[in-house]
A and B are shown apart, each in its own frame.
Chain A
């Protein structure tokens, strides 16, 4: 089994995913020239390698933050939350709005167009809001979304070309981990036994 695993790793590197980097960059650069320069390539120094790709990944994170803001809005309007929980929810939503604004700024820096939020109704359907019948249900949804968001940010960092955005994503992940930890405390659930839980 062990030697098989090693073998399969070798196969993976022989497939040469790393080696494709140059062609990959060229074709994306080619695309944006062909499409009339949707992204201005020289707009940011550090991201000169592939600004359009970074802008796309940051836009995906922005979609995530739009959904997070909507989720807290749906929770706040549900009528299920105690006042204390509601106050925490409003604080966390304001953090997500701060994230959104920072991500919008970053997409613009890269010459991209920030994605817009969808309607609250669309988010409610996508999140299965009709299944939420109590404060406990809402807290469990929030715990899942915050954990997912922390992990999502951490998992995207290696794909970003410009490490300045990598740093931003790490800071965003830390905020999500802060929310997750506070919410776990609120429902009285234990913290993980193992180190390196996120990522």
Chain B
């Protein structure tokens, strides 16, 4: 019982820290992405697990940019991603791709993309396959 309370307290603490985390994640990376390069890179780096229009090992990526984490219907997310209170934009995607487990401990995506330019290119591509991303551009 005491253990349960302790754990609940630890969880509440982690949640508070998450909110703080999200607040500082609003900064957009300084580097420019190229959506054309991003499309080819997406196939090579993400294509084992993701497609734009199909749920596979990971959720589909149509409209991911601009939507809340964990919101694709019919995809069985981990608890970690279900509860992640983040909207996907340049800054949050950049942080996610650097280290998903740091952002959502317990997530089932462990893939890290270390190259800053590749991250920017892929994020630029994800923007083009999202209604919100397109609307922002036009």
Contacts and interface: CB of A to CB of B under 8 A. Distances in A.
Mutual binders A and B: yes
Interface of A: 4-5, 7-8, 11-12, 15, 17-18, 20-21, 23-31, 33-34, 52-53, 56-57, 59-60, 63-64, 67, 125-128, 144-145, 147-149, 151-152, 155-156, 158-160
Contact of A125 (B7, B54, B105): B54
B69 interface: no
A53 B79 CA distance: 12
Q: How large is the interface on B (under 10, 10 to 19, 20 to 34, 35 or more residues)?
A: 35 or more
Interface of B: 3-4, 6-8, 10-11, 13-14, 17, 21, 24-25, 27, 29-31, 43-49, 51, 54-58, 78-80, 95, 98-103, 105-113, 116
A5 B27 CA distance: 13
A156 B78 CA distance: 17
A5 B57 contact: no
B55 A126 contact: yes
Q: Secondary structure at chain A's binding surface: helix, strand, loop or mixed?
A: helix
Contact of B48 (A11, A33, A151): A151
Contacts of B48: 64, 145, 148-149, 151-152
A31 B56 CA distance: 26
Contacts of B107: 56
A53 B99 CA distance: 13
A24 to B, nearest CB: 4
A12 B24 CA distance: 10
Contacts, number: 129
A30 B43 contact: no
A127 B54 CA distance: 8
Given A8-B29, A53-B101, A144-B47, A67 B57 contact: yes
Contact of B105 (A5, A28, A147, A148): A28
Contacts of B100: 159
B103 to A, nearest CB: 8
A172 B14 CA distance: 34
A160 B109 CA distance: 11
Contacts of A5: 30-31, 116
Contacts of A11: 27
B83 to A, nearest CB: 10
B86 to A, nearest CB: 13
Nearest to A65: B57
Given A30-B10, A126-B56, A20 B47 contact: no
A156 B107 CA distance: 12
B45 A30 contact: no
B3 A52 contact: no
7 contacts: A11-B27, A30-B11, A34-B4, A57-B110, A59-B108, A63-B49, A148-B45
